[in-house]
Structure 1
């Protein structure tokens, strides 16, 4: 039994019929609209693109996000790309 108060999440992405996406191991929800949803996960920034998407369930205490809608793509961003972009913006 884990007595530590820090949750232990396992990152997992489950896609059901391209209409429901279940993400476990989410740490925060970034921006979202009906065409794109961004979130931080245990494995990095995850971007989901589609049509008519809504966040059906959001439980960050359990690290779970459920998205409904037509899912067209799922992809991770590399952390180095984000840091370089931020550095470039700060130096301008």
Structure 2
């Protein structure tokens, strides 16, 4: 008989400390990051963190955790739509 493991969705949490550091849980993937922007795919949708001197200090995708540092200016979410085509449209909109 085939054994199946059910993947339980993780809780998503975003904690920002003094606009300088942050911890994000429920992270599925890190799509991109540079000194001005970090784009994460989370359980609750796409999360974009903008600022200056941004860094990913710790990344653990097995646990779905990311630690961020920098001067955080903006945090925004976008919903994830099912299907690859919808995902492509969302990413193209984000990078316009």
TM tier, shorter chain? 0.7 to 0.9
Q: Deviations over 1:6-57 (max 9, x none)?
A: 3551100000010001000000001110100001000000000000010000
- Equivalent position of 2:51 in the other structure: 50
1:84, CA displacement in angstroms? 8.4
Q: CA RMSD of the aligned region, Å?
A: 2.5
- Runs of 5+ in structure 2 lacking a partner? none
Aligned equivalents of 1:62, 1:5: Cα separation in 2: 15
Aligned equivalents of 2:6, 2:61: Cα separation in 1: 14
| Counterpart pick for 1:83 among 82, 86, 91 | 86
- Equivalent position of 2:41 in the other structure: 40
Structure 1 residues 35 and 10, CA gap change in structure 2 (3 angstroms): same
The alignment covers a number of residue pairs equal to 84
Q: Where in structure 1 do 4 or more consecutive aligned residues deviate above 4 Å?
A: none
- Runs of 5+ in structure 1 lacking a partner? none
1:5, CA displacement in angstroms? 6.5
